[in-house]
Each structure stands twice: as C-alpha cells, then as structure tokens.
C-alpha cells in the first residue's frame, strides 16, 4: 500500500450556479494509503470523439466505523477522479476494503 488516495463524499450543502442549477460539491473525508491495481483501459469512439476509460481496483485498510465508504463516494488519485462501482468489506471482518472504480472524465473548457 504505497499510493495515497483522497476519499470524497457529496457535500450536504447545496450550491447553485449563475443559472440557478444545482452544483455538486464534494468534501474530502480523508487521505489514505492504498494499493491501486489497473484492471482495464480502452478508448471509445462515439460521436466523432475519442474518450478513454480506465478501470482500477483499490485495496484499502478498514478505517473504522466512523468512516463509511459506499458507491456514492469518489476517489482522487494523482489528479484523476474515480467513481466507485462497488465496495466490498472482505469477509465482513472489518479489516480490508476492495473497491472497483472507473475514471470520471473531467470536462475541459469549451
């Protein structure tokens, strides 16, 4: 476990943009040591745009009952954002999590 990831949860406070549309705000829960294993990577060509997608497996030690990890959270790894497919508490022994995550493409300037 030699890589640091930041776990984020959706913030409870609502904010709105200049058009009155709700904006998702993320709050950091903590930064943890993890093992990150690349699973797949492929490029998708849709509507004449190339979009790369990466899938990873993240292994993390159990962080105690005060930190709840679910697919509603996301991870930050070296400036990249990953959404969680599933979170497993291995053998339900509260010692280790295994998560499968997919990279979320960040929208750039238009």
> How high is the pLDDT of residue 48?
62
The Cα 61–Cα 32 span in angstroms is: 9
State the chain's maximal CA–CA distance in angstroms.
47
Segment 1-16 shows an average pLDDT of: 89
> How high is the pLDDT of residue 12?
79
- Model confidence, pTM: 0.80
Name the more confident of 110 and 68.
68
Per-domain boundaries in the chain: 3-104
The Cα 3–Cα 78 span in angstroms is: 9
Comparing C-alpha atoms, which of 59, 16, 22, 56 is closest to residue 40?
56
pLDDT digits (tens, 9 = 90+) for 61-109: 998 888 889 999 999 999 999 999 899 999 889 999 999 999 887 765 5
pLDDT digits (tens, 9 = 90+) for 37-71: 998 776 666 656 666 678 899 999 998 888 889 99
- The DSSP symbol for 91 reads G
Question: What homologous superfamily does CATH list for 3-104?
Answer: Bacteriophage SPP1 head-tail adaptor protein (2.40.10.270)
Ramachandran area for residue 42 (φ above 0: left; ψ -120 to 50: alpha; else beta): beta
> How high is the pLDDT of residue 100?
93
> How high is the pLDDT of residue 43?
64
Say whether pLDDT at 110 is over 50.
no
């Amino acid at each position: 476990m030699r890589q640091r990831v930041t776990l984020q949860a959706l913030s409870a406070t609502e904010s709105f943009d200049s058009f009155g549309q709700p904006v998702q705000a993320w709050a950091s829960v903590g930064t943890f040591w993890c093992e990150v294993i690349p699973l797949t990577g492929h490029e998708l060509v849709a509507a004449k745009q190339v979009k790369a997608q990466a899938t990873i497996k993240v292994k993390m030690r159990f962080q105690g009952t005060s930190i709840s990890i679910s697919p509603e959270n996301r991870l930050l790894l070296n400036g990249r954002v990953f959404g969680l497919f599933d979170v497993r508490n291995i053998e339900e022994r509260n010692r280790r999590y295994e998560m499968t995550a997919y990279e979320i493409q960040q929208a750039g300037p238009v």
